[in-house]
Amino acid sequence: MNRFLGPTVTDWKYVTDFRADKSTITITRRPVLPDTRSPRHRMLAELFSDGKALRDVTVSVGAYANDGTEASYRIHYKHTLATGMEANRDKLSEALLAALGTHESGQLWRVDWNPEQPIITLSLRKPLEKMILHLLPTPALELPGPRLDKHGIGRQQIEWPSRVPNKPGQRLHVPYASCEIGSDVVDAFWNVSHRSSAPHMLVVGPTGGGKTVLLTTVITELVLRGIPVIGVDPKRIELHQFLGYPGVPAIVFEPLRAAKLIYALWCEMHARTKYMQIQRIAPANMPLLVAVLDEFFILSASWTQMAKSGTDVEKDVLKFCNPLGRIGELVALARSTGIRLAVGVQRPDAHLFGRDSGGVRDNFKTRASLARLSSDGAYMMWGDTTVGRDIDAAIAGRATVTDPSGDPALAQVWFTPSVDAHPAVRADMSNEERCAVDSLRPEVDTPVFCFSAELPEFVAEEQALIAAMANDVRDPIAISSSISTPSAADTIADAIPARSIEEGMHIVVGLDDDPDLTGLVASVEIAREVDRTNDGTVTDEGKVIVGIAVESAGRRPEVLFVEYSGLDTVVLVAPELPTAT
Ligand SMILES: Nc1ncnc2c1ncn2[C@@H]1O[C@H](COP(=O)(O)OP(=O)(O)OP(=O)(O)O)[C@@H](O)[C@H]1O
């Protein structure tokens, strides 16, 4: 007996059959075929061997790559109640992807559940490219033009060349990124047509996350399509590259001027509505105009600070223009008049457009978040605490964007280098980058068709201010004392939710008797987190208690404890300019 069962024999399977009635034991052996499965194949089979995740599983190789490596698997299983539930299938897909990791070719795995049969297919897909240079598929001169009358009125939507051969795009589907849908990579676009259910755009990204590049890509695509853009850039260093660019009549830098722009746009919206009523013009035929408001927190924080402690003139202008209130009206009503907004912020916030402004934010349905989001941020952007949280931070321009069906998708934003034609900027660019921006520059200027008196007046004033700015530049001089009375925007570095305050930050405390009081954060205690129901309604705004060391003229140095709600926005103070020695 031992002769047959000896440990050296490994390729036979022995089966004993004891027959008590005949007093016999029969031992038969069957050859065991060598296990030729690859380690990955075996690992997959073993994952399901306990029958807990899926029942009666067999795993087979579906396809081989050219180099002989296994490139696809098919997992047959028995259908159960558990596999009928989408949530279970999603969890299992996630577990499978985690177990498989990255293929040796650098490609990623994808999991497909066959709705007809109990079969899961695992196949390889190419990862998104890490850098996609924004190039024009057709020379600018050959781009089609819509047939519009002298007032810019006519059918605005027409076919447009796309980067995908034999698949034309649409003029009013403004592309800016490549995104993954299943195993396909398609263009992510902002639908600015009057039919769009997502007519306004929200871009969220931390400093250096690629927000300006994304907005640059969007603006260059818009003006090539004959859609003019007016920009607002309170930081002064993001959109200034568009000063003098065809189709961009103004870039506004001063917060007070930005408030006037919002007012002018609001007047324009009402003037357009009246014109459409009188002339019986359909929304599909109205000329488009896009306002891009970058660093919106800095802008709104400047407005709030000026309204509290600005000059009488500043306070009067803000009261009259009411920029936050009028933005709310613009996003709700401007769609049918052809006006669109794109807003850039560093992080999503419940009070983006002031307290109780969730409804306004919800109108910004075309969205892009660059870099990783916090779970709260992911909820605010995508209504799901997990979306947009696994972005590879090492890849510049990697984002979560609204895909063509309105769902969030992983994307790579097309890289548009600076379009600034100044020789000092061009000198720092590679030949390839110079060619790319040259190809994007429109051959003709796009006029803004204005139906109000206020908008052309505003643009003319702004152009005069910019022209005057060029004459007002002087060579730097060394100074030995601090600079007096900087403007509100100059003193604000950022505005952040109270939950994000950290020790060592320099913030505006803003007490009633001294709205400009600033101090250093000495301690932060999150007493209660923000609480939401499943549909996102805030049931508890939370509580953040911050100890702030303040020092100001006429006040003894002291630590104040200030309570914020978890949804409050706090203004960070820009570091003081170093004094020359
Ligand atoms: N889509 C992209 N593809 C490749 N590189 C990118 C992309 N987006 C950004 N980068 C790189 O990251 C740098 C910073 O991007 P960008 O200036 O857009 O950041 P930002 O979010 O505007 O930051 P800040 O708010 O500080 O201005 C760019 O100069 C570029 O080198």
Cα–ligand 1 centroid distance for 203 (angstroms):
13
Residue 2 has pLDDT above 50, yes or no: no
Atom of ligand 1 nearest to the CA of 235: 27
Query: Which residues fall within 8 angstroms of residue 550, CB to CB, at 6 or more apart?
Result: 509, 517, 518, 519, 557, 558, 559, 560
In three-state secondary structure terms, 169 is strand
pLDDT given for residue 350 in this prediction: 60
Q: Which long-range contacts (CB under 8 A, 24 or more apart) does 359-363 make?
A: 359/328, 360/327, 360/328, 360/331, 360/332, 361/202, 363/199, 363/200, 363/331, 363/332
Q: How many contiguous H segments (helices) and E segments (strands) does the chain have?
A: 14, 27
Among residues 190, 176, 166, 167, the alpha carbon closest in space to that of 404 is found at 190
DSSP string for 253-316: -SHHHHHHHHHHHHHHHHHHHHHHHHHT--GGGSPPEEEEE-SHHHHHHHHHHHHHHS-HHHHH
Cα–ligand 1 centroid distance for 432 (angstroms):
18
Domain ranges for the chain, please list them.
Answer: 2-31, 39-125, 174-418+425-469, 488-573
Atom of ligand 1 nearest to the CA of 216: 18
Q: What's the distance, CA 79 to chain centroid?
A: 39
575 or 538, higher pLDDT:
538
- The most confident of the ranges 162-176, 443-457, 465-479, 484-498 is 443-457
Question: Whole-angstrom Cα distance, residue 517 to residue 513?
Answer: 9
Query: Which residues fall within 8 angstroms of residue 97, CB to CB, at 6 or more apart?
Result: 109, 111
Among residues 402, 449, 427, 436, the alpha carbon closest in space to that of 275 is found at 449
Q: What's the distance, CA 141 to chain centroid?
A: 31
In three-state secondary structure terms, 364 is coil
Indicate if ipTM > 0.85.
yes
In three-state secondary structure terms, 553 is coil
Any idea which of 70-79, 442-451, 530-539 has the lowest mean pLDDT?
Answer: 530-539
- For ligand 1, pick from 213, 237, 292, 572 the residue to mutate: most ligand atoms within 8 Å of CB: 213
Cα–ligand 1 centroid distance for 174 (angstroms):
20
pLDDT confidence of 401, banded at 50, 70, 90?
A: very high
pLDDT given for residue 270 in this prediction: 96
Question: Whole-angstrom Cα distance, residue 471 to residue 159?
Answer: 44
Sequence ranges of the binding site for ATP? 205-212
Q: Which H/E stretch holds residue 211?
A: helix 211-224
| Average pLDDT value for residue range 494-500 | 77
Taking CB atoms and a 6 Å cutoff, what residues make up the pocket around ligand 1? 131, 205, 207-213, 238, 396-397, 413, 415
Amino acid (1-letter code) at residue 13: K
- The most confident of the ranges 245-254, 346-355, 462-471, 523-532 is 245-254
Sequence ranges of the binding site? 205-212
pLDDT confidence of 189, banded at 50, 70, 90?
A: very high
User: Using an 8 Å Cβ cutoff, are 48 and 54 in contact?
Assistant: yes
pLDDT given for residue 73 in this prediction: 94
Architecture of domain 488-573: Roll (2.30)
DSSP string for 374-442: PHHHHHHHHSSTTTT-S--TTSTTEEEEE-TTSSEEEEEEEE-------HHHHTTS-HHHHHHHHHHS-
Among residues 201, 189, 214, 195, the alpha carbon closest in space to that of 361 is found at 201
- The most confident of the ranges 312-321, 535-544, 569-578 is 312-321
- Could you tell me what percent of the chain has a pLDDT over 90? 42
User: Using an 8 Å Cβ cutoff, are 156 and 287 in contact?
Assistant: yes
| Average pLDDT value for residue range 451-457 | 96
| Backbone phi, psi, residue 433, to 5° | -65, -40
Query: Which residues fall within 8 angstroms of residue 237, CB to CB, at 6 or more apart?
Result: none
pLDDT given for residue 389 in this prediction: 74
Atom of ligand 1 nearest to the CA of 237: 27
How far are the Cα atoms of 106, 418, 451, 572 from residue 204, in angstroms, in the given order?
29, 20, 32, 18
- Assessment of whether the complete model's pTM goes beyond 0.90: no
Question: Whole-angstrom Cα distance, residue 539 to residue 532?
Answer: 5
pLDDT given for residue 485 in this prediction: 52
Options 3.40.50.300, 3.40.50.2020, 3.90.870.30, 3.20.190.10; which CATH number does 174-418+425-469 get? Answer: 3.40.50.300
> Which DSSP state fits 575?
P
Any idea which of 315-319, 389-393, 427-431, 460-464 has the lowest mean pLDDT?
Answer: 389-393
- The most confident of the ranges 185-189, 197-201, 412-416, 533-537 is 412-416
Structure tokens at 181: 């849908």
Question: Whole-angstrom Cα distance, residue 506 to residue 571?
Answer: 9
155 or 36, higher pLDDT:
155
Whose CA is closest to atom 16 on ligand 1?
210
pLDDT in tens, 552-562: 666 677 888 88
Query: Which residues fall within 8 angstroms of residue 567, CB to CB, at 6 or more apart?
Result: 349, 350, 351, 497, 498, 530, 538, 541, 542
| Average pLDDT value for residue range 78-103 | 86
pLDDT given for residue 326 in this prediction: 93
Atom of ligand 1 nearest to the CA of 295: 25
Cα–ligand 1 centroid distance for 219 (angstroms):
15
- Could you tell me what percent of the chain has a pLDDT over 70? 88
User: Using an 8 Å Cβ cutoff, are 146 and 154 in contact?
Assistant: yes
- The most confident of the ranges 125-139, 163-177, 409-423 is 409-423
Residue 576 has pLDDT above 70, yes or no: no
Whose CA is closest to atom 28 on ligand 1?
210
pLDDT given for residue 7 in this prediction: 47
- For ligand 1, pick from 130, 132, 212 the residue to mutate: most ligand atoms within 8 Å of CB: 212
The overall average pLDDT reported for the chain is 85
Integer-rounded Cα Rg, in Å, for the chain is 31
216 or 478, higher pLDDT:
216
